[in-house]
Amino acid sequence: MIDLIIQNASQIVTCAPEEASTPMAGRQQGALSITTGGVAIQEGRILEVGPEVDRLACENVIDARGGVILPGFVDCHTHAVFAGGRAGEFEERARGVSYEEIAKRGGGIRSSMTSLREASDEDLEAAVRRHLDGFLDLGTTTIEAKSGYGLNLDDELRALRALGIAHEVDVVRTCLAAHTVPPEFTDDRAGYLDLICDKIFPAVADEELASYCDAFIEQGVFSFAEGERVFEAGKRNGLRPRVHAEQLSHAGGIKLACRVGAISADHLEFCTKEDAVTMKQAGVIAVLLPTANYTLDQEKRPPARSMISVGCPIALATDFNPGSAPTQSMPLVLNMACVRFGMSVAETIVGATFNAACAIGQQHRLGSIEPGKQADLIVCDVGDYREIAYFFGANPVRTVVKRGKVVRDLD
């Protein structure tokens, strides 16, 4: 028995690979598969897609009213567990104070660290729930979310536990204890690395609090050698690496990501064409974060067109965090990737769905509208999929379906 039908869509952007042989670890941008009609859902999974669905019978029907159906957005890089905000730093940057200068005097990540350590478990859970509600309203049905504002054993674990609350949005968790060195270890970097590798990662593994580990590889943060130690320790504890790489300089993060078998390398402002070839060959997904690039007003931008020209799969994400990317809007990400990175709308939609699912190892069940996949879908009030990126600043999402159930509906 069919449980739900969404019908009368002008476009269904399936984001399905055009051929069954298409690699399932990310694919070339822009090859959208589009049909019309509807989607039939049974027991939380997609049963049928296309014009013939409009002729099927079901008691539970959603009329897309000529709108566009997409897979639910997959936001594959967020920092969704934090307490408080950093609006004061935003204003300082608007007056010309650099991100690096603010960080040197105790702002930035360390400011968020202080706020998180002072927050109760209840405060953290309430903040995560509020953030996840915001993602869902904007059509995001799955996120990757990192710790990284605790920076000690107890608070890293508290942050990861808070990300495990029951919610319609699926959360894939990452331990980012190697986000920066906390002030109590300023004169003992090796001691902090010992804490991460010998205490934090084993505790995370014991409680099964994360699937991935991450590190910020950057000048003045963590070096190539330090990052390699972190990732090897993570792998020993069942945590696959993902890497903050080449955001502020060319510090070797991409090379490290390929060396340690990372699933993704993220940011990539200082990526070269040669780096992109290396990532493609190593099967590392390139995750670009246009809202962070915009908020920090970086002149240097990831070479998206060069990446695409060599066949390096690109995923897109919000980088949602209180400092450099305070937004949960994937529609805004699509617009910025078009305007700032030179990507087509079709390329951005693949990056925000199928390739983003690849970047969290979930492409077998998410990221495209295909029979058998989990029924995570959104209906947008536009007549053409390109308008989702074109009308920036607005929320085009009318209906959100998660595992075959309507969880948001503006009607």
Tell me: do 316 and 241 sit in the same domain: yes
Q: Above 90 in pLDDT, residue 29?
A: no
- What are the distances in angstroms from CA 411 to CA 28, 379, 381? 36, 12, 11
List phi, psi (to 5°) of 200. -65, -50
Q: Above 80 in pLDDT, residue 99?
A: no
Q: CA torsion sign, 173 to 178 to 181 to 187?
A: positive
Q: Kindly report the CATH number assigned to the domain that includes residue 174.
A: 3.20.20.140
How, if at all, do strands 45-50 and 34-42 pair? antiparallel
Please give the sequence-ordered ranges of beta strands (E in DSSP) within 179-293, or none if there are none. 212-217, 240-245, 264-267, 285-288
Amino acid, res. 51: P
| Separation between Cα atoms, residue 214 and residue 251, nearest integer Å | 15
| Separation between Cα atoms, residue 323 and residue 354, nearest integer Å | 27
Q: Are 172 and 143 in contact (CB under 8 A)?
A: yes
Tell me: do 62 and 156 sit in the same domain: no
> Is residue 382 domain-resident?
yes
Tell me: do 260 and 184 sit in the same domain: yes
Tell me: do 25 and 123 sit in the same domain: no
Residue length of the chain? 411
> Is residue 20 domain-resident?
yes
> Is residue 298 domain-resident?
yes
pLDDT tens sequence across 130-141: 999 999 999 999
Q: Are 398 and 45 in contact (CB under 8 A)?
A: no
Query: Which of 316, 335, 358 corresponds to the end of one domain?
Result: 358
Q: What percent of the chain has pLDDT over 70?
A: 95
Tell me: do 65 and 91 sit in the same domain: no
pLDDT tens sequence across 48-94: 999 999 888 899 999 999 999 999 999 999 999 999 877 777 777 77
What's residue 55's pLDDT?
A: 87
Q: Which domain holds residue 379?
A: 4-71+368-409
How, if at all, do strands 377-380 and 68-71 pair? antiparallel
* Contacts of residue 57, Cβ cutoff 8 Å, sequence gap at least 6: 2
> Is residue 363 domain-resident?
no
Q: Above 80 in pLDDT, residue 23?
A: no
Q: Are 361 and 263 in contact (CB under 8 A)?
A: yes
Overall domain count for the chain: 2
Tell me: do 304 and 287 sit in the same domain: yes
Q: Kindly report the CATH number assigned to the domain that includes residue 30.
A: 2.30.40.10
* Contacts of residue 239, Cβ cutoff 8 Å, sequence gap at least 6: 175, 201, 204, 205, 210, 211, 212, 213
